[in-house]
Structure 1
């Protein structure tokens, strides 16, 4: 997992005056555009089944054989379904004290849903329905922003944080308070009451949109691939 040794990467970037960013976005290729166009503009049975099946093959998810993501939002939400696993694993590794585990300084994602979530369900943000009306997972979402906030609160409540023009990994950058004040930086630390209230709030918010996995292989959602959490 890229995020397991992220502390070392964050530190190395900070020492060079930079920062780390992890791209969790994705994009379709010409094969996806072609299959989508044929599906949209040619009525069945004239639409090219071979193009749709080739698109499904290139998406490369076991069990996905006859559906091609029709829009960039379909691609983004399918990617977000699996991105949530990576983010959740890294979050728990970091807060449980796994050596070296951390978030990068920034994530790069395709789209955000209401409340700072990422949509992992099958109904697109524009309202297009892909599953049946009985599909209870159409608008399922993961608490992306609240998870990032919870991670940062955990870091702030356990280590000193340098507050300056930039935010750095505290373990790598803090040094002693006198030295940092002389350099124009300030050391801030959340008090116990601040930590308690913020952690309680963010735990509650994360419960509203937890990691959610289910089996719908026809639309690319699996709960057993690749090494999915349970």
Structure 2
């Protein structure tokens, strides 16, 4: 009987240590490094039944991609905000017969961020925004344009609205707080959103997710 408390203590310590171990997986909600999404999840309250759905597609996870219910969200009258790898998203758009597509070029300008020509720094309303590696959006109604190239586009689908963003990297820790990116993201997502991330999630991420809900 004396072993039971000891085993329980060891189990609690093991779980605590596992939770505190840094997650270095790219685009993981638990990764606090530059390529993680931990800041996004601290800014936006992730709830299961929000009127706004953020979908970020970074990795060809076939199981996750096949289970996406974008049209279902739109039929329910939700706003779906989507960004990600442009080739993967073009496949998703084609699958759901959505009249929108990404171009394969990267939008650049003479205004660079730290001399990186693939980081687009521009003004929108009262904000200064930084979009790394943005691909032009073809289709929908332009919300934000730069030099006749569309950076953010909106499309009414069924009862809902689809918002497509040209750079998924504005959501990662490295860029989400750059300039006015955070304010721009908050204006689209609000305080509460349903956040879906398609990335190379590992067993470690699954365990982290379970522990975080305890």
Q: Structure 2 length normalisation: TM-score? A: 0.22
Higher-strand-fraction structure: 2
Higher-helix-fraction structure: 1
Which structure has the larger Rg?
1
Higher relative contact order (CA 8 A, sep 6+): 2
